[in-house]
């Protein structure tokens, strides 16, 4: 492996890839929902990727939530995620260069948080796990982006 490849691999297994995933997820949320989250942060552990997005309920969804229609909004979100799931998986596979086996999304309305969970076909190698953990412990903002930092469509 050349020096350039080593630095790219290091970037891909630490904060660089986590920030890219967060940025791309915010961009896709803006593109498909018309509004993205206020903040997004990605965490990679073993064969799992977690993306936590805060503040992203649309005006229409909030109107329905104010009318006690939580189940209707949750059902819509789930159906919509089913429609765009392949695009989200494609983005994660492109950025991580790893195969995604499955994906799940969950919204918590009381806190306005969305959890996106991706399961890879294999665990991250030891170096990826170490660099990700060291980055999370050393820099709490690692992998986090503000919604306005992500490009619109």
Tens place of pLDDT per residue across the chain (153 aa) = 333 443 343 444 445 888 899 999 999 999 998 889 999 999 888 899 999 999 989 999 999 999 999 999 999 999 999 999 999 999 999 999 999 999 999 999 999 999 999 999 999 877 667 767 776 787 777 778 887 655 554
Residue 19 to residue 101: CA distance in whole angstroms: 22
Q: How far is CA 139 from CA 1, 14, 38, 84, 128, in A?
A: 28, 11, 20, 32, 16
pTM for the full model?
A: 0.81
Sheet strands (E) in 13-150: 39-45, 48-54, 100-108, 113-120, 144-146
Site of tokens 């490849």: 5
Indicate the DSSP class of residue 19. H
Give residue 13's pLDDT. 42
Domain ranges of the chain: 3-149
State how far the Cα of 132 lies from the Cα of 16, in Å rounded to an integer.
Answer: 10
CB under 8 Å to 151, separation ≥6 — which residues? 23, 27
């Amino acid at each position: 492996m050349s020096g350039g490849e080593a630095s790219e691999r290091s970037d891909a297994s630490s904060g660089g890839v986590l920030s890219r995933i967060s940025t791309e997820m915010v961009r896709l949320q803006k593109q498909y929902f018309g509004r993205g989250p206020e903040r997004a942060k990605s965490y990679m552990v073993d064969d799992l990727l977690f993306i936590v997005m805060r503040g992203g309920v649309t005006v229409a969804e909030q109107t329905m939530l104010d009318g006690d229609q939580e189940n209707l909004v949750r059902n819509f979100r789930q159906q919509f995620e089913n429609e765009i799931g392949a695009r989200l998986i494609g983005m994660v596979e492109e950025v991580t260069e790893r195969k995604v086996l499955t994906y799940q999304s969950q919204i918590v309305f009381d806190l306005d948080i969305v959890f996106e969970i991706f399961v890879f076909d294999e665990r991250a190698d030891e170096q990826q796990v170490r660099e990700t953990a060291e980055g999370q412990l050393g820099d709490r903002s690692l992998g986090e982006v503000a919604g306005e930092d992500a490009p619109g469509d």
